[in-house]
Amino acid sequence: MGISATGVVDHSALKVNQTGIVATVLVAFIGSAFYRPLLVLIPLLAVVLLVGTFAPQLALFKQFYFKVLKPRGIVKPRPVQDRPEPHNFAQGMGGVVLAIASVFLLPLPVVGLALALLVAVLAFVNVAFGFCLGCQIYYQLGRTGLIKAASPTRSSGTTGPF
Partner 1 sequence: MSSQFWALAAVGAVVLAAAGLELVRSRLARARALGVAVAPAADPYILYFTGENCSVCRTHQEPALAKLAGVRIDKVDAIAERELADRFHVYTLPTTVVMSPQGRSLHVNYGYAPANKLERQLADARGAGLRASATA
CA 61/CA 58 separation, integer angstroms: 9
- Report the residue from 14, 98, 113, 123 that binds partner 1 according to the rule CB under 8 A: 113
In single-letter form, the type of residue at position 19 comes to T
Q: In 3-146, which ranges are continuous DSSP H helix?
A: 11-34, 41-54, 60-64, 84-105, 109-129, 133-144
DSSP state of 60: H
Scanning residues 2 to 41, which ones bind partner 1 (CB under 8 A)? 11, 29-30, 32-33
Interface with partner 1 includes 57 (CB under 8 A)?
no
Q: Contact, 156 vs 86, CB < 8 A?
A: yes
**Residue count at the site for partner 1 (CB under 8 A)?**
29
If the CB atoms of residues 36 and 60 are measured against partner 1, the closer one turns out to be 36
CA 148/CA 156 separation, integer angstroms: 17
Q: Contact, 22 vs 98, CB < 8 A?
A: no
If the CB atoms of residues 60 and 77 are measured against partner 1, the closer one turns out to be 77
The 65-104 contact track toward partner 1, x by CB under 8 A, reads ---------------xxx----------------------
Nearest approach in angstroms of CB 80 to partner 1 is 6
Piece in contact with partner 1 (CB under 8 A), picked from 16-24, 64-72, 108-116, 138-146: 108-116
Radius of gyration for the chain, computed over Cα atoms and rounded to the nearest angstrom: 16
Interface with partner 1 includes 130 (CB under 8 A)?
yes
- Report the residue from 60, 96, 117, 147 that binds partner 1 according to the rule CB under 8 A: 117
Instruction: Count CB-CB contacts under 10 A for residue 64.
Output: 16
Q: What is the contact surface with partner 1 in residues (CB under 8 A)?
A: 11, 29-30, 32-33, 80-82, 109-114, 117-118, 121, 130, 152-162
